[in-house]
Structure 1
Amino acid sequence: AKRTADGKTHIVNPGESIMEAVKAATPGDTIQVMPGNYHETVYIDKDDIRIIGVIKEGKRATMDGQGKLNDAILYSGNNIVVQNMLITKYKGNAIMGQAGNNFEIRDNIIVDTGVYGIFPQLGKNGIVEGNVISGIEDAAIYVGMSDNIHVSRNEVFDSVAGIEIENSRHAIVENNYVHNNTGGILAFITPGLPIKTTFDVIIRDNFIVNNNTANFGAPGSTVAGIPAGTGILIMAADEVIVEDNIITGNKTAGIIITDHENAPNTTIDPEADSKPDKIMILNNLMMNNGYDTIDEAKALMLTEFKQGQPDILRVGTSRDSCIINRHRYVTVGVSDWAECSFTNTDAIDTYILDEPVPPREIKGSEKGKIAYLGICTGCHTYTGRMIGPPVQIIQALYMDNPRGLADYIANPVKKRDDYPEMPPQNYLDEETRLAVAEYMLSRTN
């Protein structure tokens, strides 16, 4: 993306505040953060800001939430860059985008930051590259309701989900090392969200290895239903191409394809197509998957008189899908798939756009909608359980009291042991909090 090149550089030293530097910055500025410890939350609501950690003799600028703070970096501005930071011990997110476009999140180390590591939500034209992320309760990299995304050269491990492409389109996930998670790479539709589709996703040239970590996701959440030992999971997404990956040592299966009807912890959204259609499995190297598979997979194998360790497992309905070299793998449920008419995606380099996406113009009447899409849907769906309770439950509690809901999200109090603590949204102004409360209470799906 093209960026302003004549901005100022702000230097932040240990004992100083990154947030104060953001407040002083104007579009086009760079904030250089010197090695040392910083205990704060940074919110970027301006366009064209870069936060760059300075590395000296292996020492990095370290944002340490000390197990007390919820979020490290939140951005709603466009053309944001976050690079070379070390982020650890937050309870919510390391880096979360809230409707910001043209983002670049590169070369960060993220350890134990709660629910999500890197989480661009409702963004267009973004790059997540060269990051090392571990110890995440939901997804190390979670691309939500976004378009034209490139996720490459990351290492993700010791998390429930390695990389998720959720309700998003035109995404490439390539050259990543995805290991020792519960599930490696996921492409799916979460029902109950305002954007109802996932399609045009390429998963290629990744190492997807030994994703056998016991599932420690929030009980009842979508990711809590992922069986340990899943290499790639495709749920209800369309036009997903799986190509030239090395997929080994995943004890349940190398690739699982399912519809919503057969997926655990999933509700049915009448406005979303629950079937994964036009899935294309091209050449992949698969070895030693399915060696300790789940009982449901064993039962499906019996229906086809199959023996061995399943590499590829299809459950439910999938229309117009294809596979090449099927004889190489132990497969279940793909006997009716066609032979793919092409063998590679070499002609597709990236879905990143040649020109930056223009800044989103938010009219006053749309403020609540954009806040809902960019923030609330990261944890809430309409009918299903995600990180937080379904929107329907919130409506039952606050339908005639939007002001009460607006006040609550600014200073939430943990009320239920079966849900994690909600991070306060007090960085939003009072008008926006009321607008998003009114919008949430008006939703019908």
Structure 2
Amino acid sequence: MRKLVMPLSYAALPLFLLLGACSKSPDTDSAKMQAASDDAAFQKKLQEQLLDAKPGSVIEIPAGKHHLTSGLTLRVHGVTIRGAGMDKTVLSFKDQVTGPEGLLVYANNFTIENLTIEDSKGDGLKINDGENITIRGVKVQWTGGPKVTNGAYGIYPVKTTNVLIEDSAAIGASDAGIYVGQSKNVVVRRNRAEQNVAGIEIENTIDADVYENTATNNTGGILVFNMPNLSQAGYGTRVYKNKVFANNLGNFAAKGAAVASVPAGSGVVVNSNSKVEIFDNDVSDSQTANVIISSYFSTGYFSEKGVSPDYDPYPRAIYVYGNRFKGGGDSPDGLDLKALKIAMFGLNGHFPDVIWDGYVDTKTFVNGAIPANDRLCVQNGDVSVLNVDGPNKYKNPKNDSAAYRCELPKLKPVSIPQLAENATAKG
């Protein structure tokens, strides 16, 4: 710059400094190129480790934020992927070009722990058709806030058996943060779900324990669903000792998704599932209702294939007891529910803690009533149930407590090998 002949005025000084700063851009560009080169080398090495893995392999991923441009796949049984810590090892897929998932796994006896997967193009961590799956200390998130363009599922085991998801987190999924579908023998514990459409969702799954989780600032906190045309129907889920509060986030699911019908302000939702226990939870400030029990007919979900004739659209044997409810029901989502709330409870009133859509399977009635073991039972202090009379478009809603004072057989705790291994290790 000293070779300039024309004198510099004071007014030109900022431009001169700017030009001076720009003169450092080669160093900046060089640093960026080096970082890109390092990321490419890291990605190549990690992909090779996944391809070359053998049963018993432990793939250690060092601390740091690692930028990847393509999704990862593992197809070898008995592998562990381990980071240096949930907030220390970060796999960022923000610039992902190929592969819909962040990490896709087809394997048995798989463990992943102590890392973060963020900003994947599609699902964050998907595990398909595996047995003995452990997900521990894993965060899956989308960092740009709740958006329909975010991946649908954060932590996503499907068609799996013996699943443990613990001490993990899911943030920003446009469908479900932690989702377990069409699986058997599942434990979901001590996790946090936030800013998802569904915080935690158990769908078409047999025998699941969901406990000691925190779900907040989702559209719906914890969901237990059965959807049609899937490989199995679910039953036997226990939802207990969870903290489910202020799940009032506007629904940002893709149009046509099953969870697109979940009203903002839903605490715990059971839809078309059976043998579900909801107990010993702290559920509060759900603006539609703290607990919602509903049938497939209330979802608005439409399948072009139609509905399989063996699909059961009704919730059966739902037992709600011993929970601590607070607030909620004061600003339900949807014009129909708002109008119903005002008509029944006044402008400043609120829905009761439990809402039921009122759909029943009259074909199974015994002496004109729902069979005893298929009932909705609520043993929760003075909590009442609002039957909104969905079949008649809310024309004859009823708020009652005595009609639901009943008991159901208790479900057994879920047993999976990982729990026994943990107990042995601690002993």
TM-score normalized by structure 1? 0.71
CA distance in 2, matches of 1:351, 1:300: 43
1:314 aligns with 2:356: yes
Matching residue within 399, 411, 415 for 1:351: 415
CA distance in 2, matches of 1:136, 1:264: 21
Aligned to 2:290: 254
Question: What is the SS of the residue equivalent to 1:26?
Answer: coil
Residues 355/129 of structure 1: CA separation in 2 closer, same or farther (3 Å cut): closer
1:121 aligns with 2:158: yes
Aligned to 1:48: 78
Question: What is the SS of the residue equivalent to 1:223?
Answer: helix
Shift of 1:341: 5.6
CA distance in 2, matches of 1:245, 1:81: 29
- Letter of the aligned partner of 1:24 in structure 2? D
CA distance in 1, matches of 2:125, 2:170: 11
Aligned to 1:200: 236
Question: Is this contact kept in 2: 1:108–1:131, CA < 8 A?
Answer: yes
1:227 aligns with 2:266: no
Structure 1 vs Structure 2 CA RMSD: 2.6
1:160-199 matches, cutoff 5 A: 160-195=197-232, 197-199=233-235
1:283 aligns with 2:359: no
Question: What is the SS of the residue equivalent to 1:239?
Answer: strand
Aligned to 1:79: 109
The structure carrying a bigger strand percent of its residues is 2
1:358-397 matches, cutoff 5 A: none
Aligned to 2:425: none
Residues 68/216 of structure 1: CA separation in 2 closer, same or farther (3 Å cut): farther
Residues 233/269 of structure 1: CA separation in 2 closer, same or farther (3 Å cut): farther
CA distance in 1, matches of 2:260, 2:88: 36
Bigger relative contact order (CA 8 A; separation at least 6):
1
Residues 285/175 of structure 1: CA separation in 2 closer, same or farther (3 Å cut): same
Question: Is there any run of 5+ residues in structure 2 with no aligned partner, and where?
Answer: 1-39, 143-149, 361-373, 388-399, 421-427
- Letter of the aligned partner of 2:105 in structure 1? Y
Aligned to 1:372: none
CA distance in 2, matches of 1:299, 1:238: 30
Question: What is the SS of the residue equivalent to 2:297?
Answer: helix
Aligned to 1:104: 134
Question: Is this contact kept in 1: 2:345–2:351, CA < 8 A?
Answer: no
- Letter of the aligned partner of 2:267 in structure 1? G
1:241 aligns with 2:297: no
Aligned to 1:292: 331
1:17 aligns with 2:45: yes
Question: Is this contact kept in 2: 1:282–1:340, CA < 8 A?
Answer: no
- Letter of the aligned partner of 1:331 in structure 2? V
Residues 251/47 of structure 1: CA separation in 2 closer, same or farther (3 Å cut): same
- Letter of the aligned partner of 2:108 in structure 1? N
1:340 aligns with 2:407: yes
Matching residue within 172, 176, 188 for 1:151: 188
- Letter of the aligned partner of 1:339 in structure 2? C
Question: Is there any run of 5+ residues in structure 1 with no aligned partner, and where?
Answer: 1-11, 357-445
Question: Is this contact kept in 2: 1:95–1:117, CA < 8 A?
Answer: yes
Question: What is the SS of the residue equivalent to 1:279?
Answer: strand
- Letter of the aligned partner of 2:386 in structure 1? V
CA distance in 1, matches of 2:131, 2:249: 33
CA distance in 2, matches of 1:293, 1:200: 29
Residues 341/140 of structure 1: CA separation in 2 closer, same or farther (3 Å cut): closer
Question: Is this contact kept in 2: 1:29–1:49, CA < 8 A?
Answer: yes
Shift of 1:266: 4.5
Shift of 1:84: 1.1
Residues 55/314 of structure 1: CA separation in 2 closer, same or farther (3 Å cut): closer
Question: What is the SS of the residue equivalent to 1:110?
Answer: strand
Residues 264/209 of structure 1: CA separation in 2 closer, same or farther (3 Å cut): same
Question: Is this contact kept in 2: 1:91–1:115, CA < 8 A?
Answer: no
Deviations 1:362-403 (A, max 9, x none): xxxxxxxxxxxxxxxxxxxxxxxxxxxxxxxxxxxxxxxxxx
CA distance in 2, matches of 1:45, 1:81: 13
Residues 13/174 of structure 1: CA separation in 2 closer, same or farther (3 Å cut): farther
1:142 aligns with 2:142: no
Aligned to 1:28: 56
CA distance in 1, matches of 2:344, 2:235: 30
Shift of 1:108: 1.1
Q: Which has the larger radius of gyration?
A: 2
Shift of 1:308: 3.2
Matching residue within 120, 123, 138 for 1:90: 120
Q: How many residues align?
A: 339
Matching residue within 310, 320, 326 for 1:271: 310
Deviations 1:209-234 (A, max 9, x none): 11111111001211111110001110
Aligned to 2:3: none
Question: Is this contact kept in 1: 2:137–2:168, CA < 8 A?
Answer: yes
- Letter of the aligned partner of 2:404 in structure 1? W
Aligned to 2:8: none
- Letter of the aligned partner of 1:320 in structure 2? R
CA distance in 1, matches of 2:89, 2:177: 20
Shift of 1:149: 0.4
TM-score normalized by structure 2? 0.74
Shift of 1:158: 0.6
Question: Is this contact kept in 1: 2:320–2:380, CA < 8 A?
Answer: no
Question: What is the SS of the residue equivalent to 1:202?
Answer: strand
Q: Percent identity?
A: 29
